Structure 1
């Protein structure tokens, strides 16, 4: 019996892999020749959370997901972002009206987004292989060994799992996640506060106007200690780090900690292979750019592959190389911003910390400085 052969195998069924599958299916003459490999979401009762992450998706990512028919029902708008530095003067405010968009972005639950994406994928006719993706053997075609037997693909798209090569950095930080209730909420406002231990973000929560999603970056031992605190002690520590802008803060659920690191590998790791999303890069969560960058990878790869999907006998390598070149500037700038900000604001040098405060003040006073950065965080580079 001959081994199955696919035009495209997508290795990873997370948000970026599903978005890729949806985009490619809309352009493919036969979606069944596209295989999406990876487990489906774990079934859960209504209202129950399995993954505690809240995702900040910018305006460009929302528009992309809407075109795919995969925007979740529940989300919270981000209309303004307040950026400050603990212990220093200077802050900046980024506003959607200044940028001429209905919202800067939205916050949605990871579980809700993944459920919505998988439901949309199941309607496309794509071949679903719900086992953990194998390590591909690069070539023409790409060789894939599955539990149910070997198969081949003319092109394999890696969307999950960091590659063993490329730039790596350990930040010595964990992100502590929790849901927080604020006594004096500011509807539609997200907060990014830089502290000596790392950035602390409070994001509007899709479950209610008085709720916020906390992302608090601290050293690993501090993260472990915070997760073990009682609600009262945790609340006091959070209040001391964030301040009084939202009134009294109260934790509403258990805290979870995730290690933080940077990885940036090649977009084209081998013959017949393309890396996007977490397979291409993982970022520090400051400014919430990781998934947004991965979705831009997916959107532009769909555009790059459309001519080949229409006429699959044409050479594909020139299209892939052109895609990698087009993605280089966006990846480089986003990596630089998210790698530099948490390290420079956490410096122990008092002069550097004062300079950071002055920088925030300058951004607030000078739109010519603020708008280019805000627009990149809003939608990245999509050309």
Structure 2
């Protein structure tokens, strides 16, 4: 039997790729046969800077399940803001729902961390993992029973490849006609532990507690591309005024404390298995609308299940990985498509500008607030996904 350079090569070193490399290293007989391939990138700064610092302005809302998983990998960042309650409402309509961690018997619903801080924690953990790093953007190609990963400096082979980012999923697509405006603001009346999701006619507006200060919130404002560009260019005082107008008075007035960034929003979802020797996870399998903050949480569930499915194969990596790949795709199917459906439905139904639909949405929020089983069923899905 021909030998391969590696048992598994992971293509893309974002949070999902790094987490998978760590998880597989914990299960492999020889962690050096796990390769992580990505273009060379500057070392990210350590956490502890101001709210406006960092290469990437994004903050991530990681649910309780994701936090527990990263803690088992010794890759949880030092700075995090806990979410204990989530307040969901609709602008200019009746109906709201509050999700409380105590009803679900968890210490927190989730935590907000800076994107850069997550990468730093994962990079630090990888340094002592034994995983092989390859600085290259590799392209996988099926070659017999192996995968060839070609890059500018040469080629490596692996028994199995995992695409974790850098490749847009091919399959289901939807462009929402929305962009997300990201910013950090200081609130005059902060509510520690509370996160807010407010549906407006132009899209969802989220205010999340920020790890850099009890009075700082990470704003994700979804609106039309034209409005997003207008908001990006506004003076800080005018942006703060419009934000307060849309969000309401629950946190008092706002004061911008960072630059603003704008990202287009779209759904792309493809198969978990690209071919017989290549698996897709994370953003290479699905990119979601940011409503409810499910993107990386879903990706980390991909990681956890793939590591579990491959754990037995990694004890005998010379054997056929196909049955374990089939198990992974089967176990991930229901959770993936249910989460995709929820995050696709919510931003569209609440921004139809149809009064009947908006009132129905308000009634649904009210029903969940009155009947805990309805509320907790949705909360459990967002908290830990659908278990198979």
Superposition TM-score, scaled by structure 2 size: 0.96
* Counterparts of residues 12-27 of structure 1 (less than 5 Å): 12-27=12-27
Contact 2:32 2:132 in 1 (8 A): yes
Deviation per CA, 1:108-128: give whole Å up to 9, x if none. 000000011011111111110
Residue 147 of structure 2, aligned match among 129, 142, 145: 142
Deviation per CA, 1:39-73: give whole Å up to 9, x if none. 45523555231100000000000000000000000
Aligned partners of 1:3 and 1:225: how far apart in 2? 56
Which segment is superposed worse, 119-128 or 34-43?
34-43
Contact 1:11 1:159 in 2 (8 A): yes
Residue 372 of structure 2, aligned match among 367, 373, 383: 367
The residue that corresponds to 2:78 in the other structure is 73
Aligned partners of 2:17 and 2:40: how far apart in 1? 12
Aligned partners of 1:70 and 1:199: how far apart in 2? 30
Contact 2:164 2:282 in 1 (8 A): yes
Q: Does 1:291 align with 2:291?
A: no
The residue that corresponds to 2:125 in the other structure is 120
* Counterparts of residues 4-19 of structure 1 (less than 5 Å): 5-19=5-19
Q: Does 1:331 align with 2:322?
A: no
The residue that corresponds to 2:37 in the other structure is 37
Pairwise CA distance, 1:163:
3.8
SS in 1 for 2:192: coil
Aligned partners of 1:275 and 1:382: how far apart in 2? 19
The residue that corresponds to 2:287 in the other structure is 282
Aligned partners of 1:110 and 1:39: how far apart in 2? 18
Contact 2:169 2:268 in 1 (8 A): no
Contact 2:169 2:283 in 1 (8 A): no
Aligned partners of 2:286 and 2:44: how far apart in 1? 29
The residue that corresponds to 1:178 in the other structure is 183
Deviation per CA, 1:139-163: give whole Å up to 9, x if none. 4210111222111111000100344
Deviation per CA, 1:331-374: give whole Å up to 9, x if none. 01000000000000001211110010011011100011111100
* Counterparts of residues 174-323 of structure 1 (less than 5 Å): 174-323=179-328
Aligned partners of 2:82 and 2:131: how far apart in 1? 32
Contact 1:300 1:382 in 2 (8 A): no
Aligned partners of 1:209 and 1:178: how far apart in 2? 16
Structure 2 residue ranges without an equivalent (≥5): none
Pairwise CA distance, 1:253:
1.2
SS in 1 for 2:312: helix
Aligned partners of 2:61 and 2:45: how far apart in 1? 24
Pairwise CA distance, 1:3:
10
Contact 2:4 2:159 in 1 (8 A): no
Contact 2:77 2:113 in 1 (8 A): yes
Residue 171 of structure 2, aligned match among 166, 169, 178: 166
Superposition TM-score, scaled by structure 1 size: 0.97
Contact 1:40 1:118 in 2 (8 A): no
Contact 1:262 1:281 in 2 (8 A): yes
Question: Once superposed, what is the RMSD of the aligned Cα atoms?
Answer: 1.4
Contact 1:41 1:115 in 2 (8 A): no
* Counterparts of residues 46-125 of structure 1 (less than 5 Å): 47=49, 48-125=53-130
Aligned partners of 1:208 and 1:58: how far apart in 2? 20
